[in-house]
Amino acid sequence: MPDWIDRPLFEIAQALRKGTLTARNLTEEGIARHDKWDVKLGAYKTWDAEYARRQADASDAAFKANKDLGLAQGILFSVKDIYGAEGFPIYAGSPKRLPPEWEKNGPVLNKVRQQLAVIPGKTHTVEFAFGGLGSNPHWDVPRNPWDAQSHRAPGGSSSGAGVSLWEGSASIAFGTDTGGSVRVPASMTGNVGLKTTKGRWSTDLITILSTSFDTPGILAKSVSDISFGFNAIDPVTKASVSSAIETRDVSGIKLGITKDYFWDRCADDVGETVENAIAELKNAGARTSTIKIPEAGTSVQVWGEGAIVASEGYSFLQTRLPDWIDSLDPNVLSRMEVAKEAKTLDYFSALFKISKLSQSVHAKLETVDALAVPTVPITPPKIEDLVDAEAYKKNNLLALSNTMPGNVLGACAITIPAGLDKSGMPVGLQLIALPNREEELISLALGIERILGTPRDRLGTPPLGGRL
Amino acid sequence: MPDWIDRPLFEIAQALRKGTLTARNLTEEGIARHDKWDVKLGAYKTWDAEYARRQADASDAAFKANKDLGLAQGILFSVKDIYGAEGFPIYAGSPKRLPPEWEKNGPVLNKVRQQLAVIPGKTHTVEFAFGGLGSNPHWDVPRNPWDAQSHRAPGGSSSGAGVSLWEGSASIAFGTDTGGSVRVPASMTGNVGLKTTKGRWSTDLITILSTSFDTPGILAKSVSDISFGFNAIDPVTKASVSSAIETRDVSGIKLGITKDYFWDRCADDVGETVENAIAELKNAGARTSTIKIPEAGTSVQVWGEGAIVASEGYSFLQTRLPDWIDSLDPNVLSRMEVAKEAKTLDYFSALFKISKLSQSVHAKLETVDALAVPTVPITPPKIEDLVDAEAYKKNNLLALSNTMPGNVLGACAITIPAGLDKSGMPVGLQLIALPNREEELISLALGIERILGTPRDRLGTPPLGGRL
């Protein structure tokens, strides 16, 4: 029988309530996994086993007193180190600890902490979340477990999030997604990742990259676990172990298939892997409909012209954390500094164009259940190939090119593993849906997981190790 | 017995419900007043007596069918011509009619239209609401009824709002306030004006001057009528003719008195008029407490440095109404064009500084019921003295200097007549309170009106005429 930590969260939650499992035992499993794998994988910036045990004991005490505080009770959540999380320092990927005001729990983290979730540590991140590959010159970069020889990008900016799931030290990983920072690391590490609709979950007490596009999100080892995590954080009604989102049968779903933008930059093997997954879904009864979305490419261009993220991110640092600018990763600084010349009229004009493009795309998305496109068009590059600034820039833009439209166009989206590419690296199938359709999207993805299998079923075990 | 249109709105509303008055009769009174006075005063850009009669008849039909749709039913509201209002064209003070999309009712106007209020016309405005004096080169500028010889500024940007109340063709006038555009015309024409807290009332389908600071507001002939209008638009519970906001006794209220900023630029007679009114309130038992608010002056400086309103206003025109830029009033254009050089980092830095200044001022406002300061530090200038661009700029800045801090610092505020200055022009006492304390502020102002009298009691009748 597998360890508890490897089982579906709905099973774990039931066992915790039946008393066949304690939060402390589950946490000890997570700690043992961390002790075994973190040396190799290095998902965490900060890890605190003793604090995790105390949180687990508090959770068990509540269970004993017949207090069921919600689905998250006793479940292990890793937290990207740009979230404030009481009891932990915060670095946001910078070399210096941030002031204590940034250590407070924000509304999203509070949701699960009030349910007595267990937070064992905070995961690595690209400095202030501005980068899609996961690199960081100040701290160790988590290893992508799918390559035992080379150090390949774990994806970013939530660079430790997906890796923490392979360690087995967390069941749900909190990340944030401004241009793909949940979906890219989920795809590159072979996990499921959910990017929520802008504004649905509060970004308070998470350091700001972009007030226009920042969104909290979660990564997990299966769509089923994502459904569990989503229910814990954002229940339609009071969530319980028996109130999961329903699985939608694949037969009858309608996927929007695009050509051009999302495929143009795809490596052949990456594109084929996603095409094969879509073909399997069609065999299982999914219908497809070809849609032209020229707005995707335009939106990414417009976002650049207005220097939206650079302006919002750099002004956040200037006003809130000015002493953190000098030590910025040159790859972060050089892209943020374009803000210095940015004009307000260009900024507002870009935001306006984006709102028009969004309207136009939303009308098209109404005709399907979701767009089905590759999450990341390239195989995760080797960290050593990113030393050159131009190479970094090029790869970073490529890595984010298929996820950015989701942010710009105000969608919600999920990525699920489609298979492995020729390098043996995970490839993600991205499903993009209308704003605030998270429940429907998860329902759809649950049906797709029934056909494609869970990440573990579909991808097997990573060669570098992780979990069991 | 006075005409119905001159009586308090709570009396009118009761008579409409008792059947001793019909909306049609009330509307005919308003039309008769308009026919008599508009030639002299010129409050309206668009006037439609026939449409007003049809709206009144619809209102009466509902009363007859025992449908009480809310306080606004059958009451006359004039609407500043930057609001969309179905059935009327919109010019927003520009020489060209705006596209039909801008003619739709927005949420605030809808509130009273769903209650079958009567809208007889749309009042003049400074072009796109960017100016505090009321001048407009494209259309007639409403006369300030308090000077029969010279054409003095009616205040802006809601330049026809206060004048429509003196015409007697409306009981409540809808305006908007970005830097003082409700309070300045209310003060200059001897009316009561309420600026609501940013975000409390939606600005949808009102042309945008500043996304950061625009607020809808109302002007009326007494605080009691403001209370009525506020209840109609924003009822705490279901409003009725007997559910007015309570009058707070002046004895025991605590007014914050400032020196420096709000008084430094005051003409002697203006300052004395407000001081005398405050002295009367003290005689009636009001306590005062001196507060230093250096943030007021700083906030106005910061708002300028970041080119906040210019950037937001100009980008609105560029993206939504580009064909309206070439014909802009040179006094509007020259102040908006500074946006062309504005940098995003300065813009965000200014907004951040303002949020810090607001926090600091809010803590001080907690110690009193409201600040009591002059609404406008100068007598309404003669329109002929504003021809020179520099003279316009200087007077415009002066006119808005005491109201802008309320917008910048996120307060709500009300102005009530304090008396007449040496030129016989009305002077306003401004009460500034914490955000979202409108009910408390109106309650306080009702008590103050009990001591100072209604505008008509306190100021008498304007020499140019208006009403009876």
Whether residue B466 lies inside any domain: the answer is no
> A206 pLDDT band (50/70/90 cuts)?
very high
Q: Tokens 């010889």 label which residue?
A: B149
Closest CA of chain B from A350, distance in Å: 10
Q: Lowest-pLDDT range, A14-23, A204-213, A277-286, B241-250?
A: B241-250
**Chain B contact residues (CB < 8 Å to A):** 307, 311-312, 314-315, 318-320, 339-345, 347-349, 352-353
Contact B344 A318 (CB under 8 A): no
Of A311, A314, A344, the CB nearest to B339: A344
Q: Are the beta carbons of B175 and B142 closer than 8 angstroms?
A: no
When pLDDT is averaged across residues A230-248 and rounded to a whole number, the result is 79
Identify all chain A residues contacting B318, using CB atoms and an 8 Å cutoff: 345, 348-349
When pLDDT is averaged across residues A275-290 and rounded to a whole number, the result is 98
When pLDDT is averaged across residues B271-288 and rounded to a whole number, the result is 98
Beta-carbon-side half-sphere exposure of residue A108 (alpha carbons within 13 Å): 25
Of A314, A339, A344, the CB nearest to B315: A344
Identify all chain A residues contacting B339, using CB atoms and an 8 Å cutoff: 344-345
Of A315, A341, A345, the CB nearest to B315: A345
Chain A and chain B share a number of CB contacts under 8 A equal to 61
Q: Are the beta carbons of A236 and A437 closer than 8 angstroms?
A: no
Closest CA of chain B from A16, distance in Å: 45
Integer Rg of chain A from CA: 20
Contact B344 A315 (CB under 8 A): yes
Identify all chain B residues contacting A307, using CB atoms and an 8 Å cutoff: 344
Q: Tokens 């690296």 label which residue?
A: A425
What residues of A are labeled active site?
80, 157, 181
Check which CATH number belongs to the domain holding B403 and give it: 3.90.1300.10
* pLDDT at position B239 over 90: no
Q: Over the stretch B244-269, which tens digit does the pLDDT of each residue have?
A: 789 999 999 999 999 889 999 999 99
- pLDDT value of position B243: 62
How far apart CA A459 and CA B189 sit, in angstroms, is 76
Instruction: Give which of B316, B308, B326 is closest to B94, Cα–Cα.
Output: B326
Instruction: Give which of A297, A234, A295 is closest to A261, Cα–Cα.
Output: A297
The whole-model pTM stands at 0.93
Task: Look up residue A312 and give its two tokens.
Answer: 């919002």
What type of residue is B428? G
Is beta strand B254-257 parallel, antiparallel or unpaired with respect to B370-374? Answer: parallel
Question: What is the interface pTM, i.e. ipTM, of the complex?
Answer: 0.91
Whether residue B74 lies inside any domain: the answer is yes
Contact A348 B312 (CB under 8 A): yes
Q: Over the stretch A37-60, which tens digit does the pLDDT of each residue have?
A: 999 999 999 999 999 999 999 999
B50: exposed, middle or buried (Cβ count in 10 Å: 0-12, 13-18, 19+): exposed
Whether residue B468 lies inside any domain: the answer is no
> A131 pLDDT band (50/70/90 cuts)?
very high
Nearest 5°: the CA angle A79, A84, A90 is: 85
Closest CA of chain B from A363, distance in Å: 19
Calculate helix-pair angle for B438-452, B268-283, nearest 10 degrees. Answer: 90
- pLDDT value of position A239: 57
CB atoms within 10 A of CB B310: 25
Whether residue B434 lies inside any domain: the answer is yes
What is the distance of C-alpha A261 from the center of its chain? 22
Identify all chain A residues contacting B340, using CB atoms and an 8 Å cutoff: 343, 345
Find which of A348, A351, A352 to mutate to test the B interface (most B CBs within 10 Å of its CB).
Answer: A348
Of A315, A345, A352, the CB nearest to B340: A345
Identify all chain B residues contacting A313, using CB atoms and an 8 Å cutoff: none
As a whole-number percent, the residues of chain B with pLDDT over 90 amount to 95
How far apart CA A405 and CA B360 sit, in angstroms, is 40
Residues forming beta bridges with residue B193, ordered by sequence position:
B219, B415
Identify all chain B residues contacting A349, using CB atoms and an 8 Å cutoff: 315, 318-319
**Mean pLDDT computed over every residue of chain B:** 96
Torsion angle, alpha carbons of A121, A122, A123, A129, to 10? 170
Contact A343 B344 (CB under 8 A): yes
Contact A343 B343 (CB under 8 A): yes
Contact B318 A344 (CB under 8 A): no
Q: Over the stretch B364-415, which tens digit does the pLDDT of each residue have?
A: 999 999 999 999 999 999 999 999 999 999 999 999 999 999 999 999 999 9
What type of residue is A200? R
- pLDDT value of position A468: 57
Contact B349 A311 (CB under 8 A): no
- pLDDT value of position A261: 94
Identify all chain A residues contacting B347, using CB atoms and an 8 Å cutoff: 344, 347
Three-class secondary structure of residue B300 per DSSP = helix
Three-class secondary structure of residue B319 per DSSP = helix
Find which of A338, A344, A345 to mutate to test the B interface (most B CBs within 10 Å of its CB).
Answer: A344
Of B318, B349, B353, the CB nearest to A349: B318
Closest CA of chain A from B340, distance in Å: 7
When pLDDT is averaged across residues B190-203 and rounded to a whole number, the result is 98
How far apart CA B204 and CA A423 sit, in angstroms, is 53
Of A311, A318, A348, the CB nearest to B319: A348
Closest CA of chain B from A310, distance in Å: 10
Contact B315 A348 (CB under 8 A): yes
Q: Over the stretch B302-337, which tens digit does the pLDDT of each residue have?
A: 998 899 999 999 999 999 999 999 999 999 999 999
- pLDDT value of position B88: 98
Contact A349 B315 (CB under 8 A): yes
Contact B352 A319 (CB under 8 A): yes
- pLDDT value of position B282: 98
Whether residue B110 lies inside any domain: the answer is yes
Closest CA of chain B from A358, distance in Å: 15
* pLDDT at position B466 over 90: no
- pLDDT value of position A237: 62
Instruction: Give which of B134, B82, B75, B123 is closest to B106, Cα–Cα.
Output: B82
What type of residue is B138? H
Contact B349 A318 (CB under 8 A): yes
- pLDDT value of position A418: 98
Contact B348 A307 (CB under 8 A): no
Which DSSP string corresponds to A37-102?
HHHHH--EEEE-HHHHHHHHHHHHHHHHTT----TTTT-BEEEETTB--TTS---TTSSSPPPGGG
Q: Over the stretch B46-84, which tens digit does the pLDDT of each residue have?
A: 999 999 999 999 999 999 999 999 999 999 999 999 999
Q: Are the beta carbons of B414 and B300 closer than 8 angstroms?
A: no
Closest CA of chain B from A418, distance in Å: 41
Give the C-alpha distances (Å, rounded to integers) separating A175 from A123, A125, A353, B147, B332.
9, 9, 28, 65, 46
Kindly report whether the peptide bond that precedes residue A187 is cis, defined as omega within 30 degrees of 0: no
Residues forming beta bridges with residue B79, ordered by sequence position:
B122, B174
Q: Are the beta carbons of A146 and A152 closer than 8 angstroms?
A: yes
How far apart CA B103 and CA B205 sit, in angstroms, is 8
Of A319, A340, A353, the CB nearest to B348: A319
Whether residue A465 lies inside any domain: the answer is no
What is the distance of C-alpha A246 from the center of its chain? 22
Closest CA of chain B from A336, distance in Å: 11
Identify all chain B residues contacting A348, using CB atoms and an 8 Å cutoff: 311-312, 315, 318-319
CB atoms within 10 A of CB B57: 16
Whether residue A467 lies inside any domain: the answer is no
* pLDDT at position A381 over 70: yes
- pLDDT value of position B468: 57
Can you give the residue range of the structural domain that contains B150?
Answer: 4-459
* pLDDT at position B238 over 60: no
Closest CA of chain A from B314, distance in Å: 8
Integer Rg of chain B from CA: 20
Chain B residue with Cα closest to A341:
B343
Contacts of A355 (CB under 8 A, 6+ apart): none
Of A312, A319, A345, the CB nearest to B311: A345
Calculate helix-pair angle for B23-41, B49-64, nearest 10 degrees. Answer: 160
* Number of domains making up chain A: 1
- pLDDT value of position B260: 87
Task: Look up residue B72 and give its two tokens.
Answer: 């606004």
Contact A318 B343 (CB under 8 A): no
- pLDDT value of position B281: 98
- pLDDT value of position B23: 98
Identify all chain B residues contacting A315, using CB atoms and an 8 Å cutoff: 344-345, 348-349, 352
Of B318, B342, B349, the CB nearest to A319: B349
Q: Which helix (H) or strand (E) holds A335?
A: helix A330-336
* pLDDT at position B242 over 90: no
What type of residue is B382? K
Whether residue B465 lies inside any domain: the answer is no
* pLDDT at position B90 over 70: yes
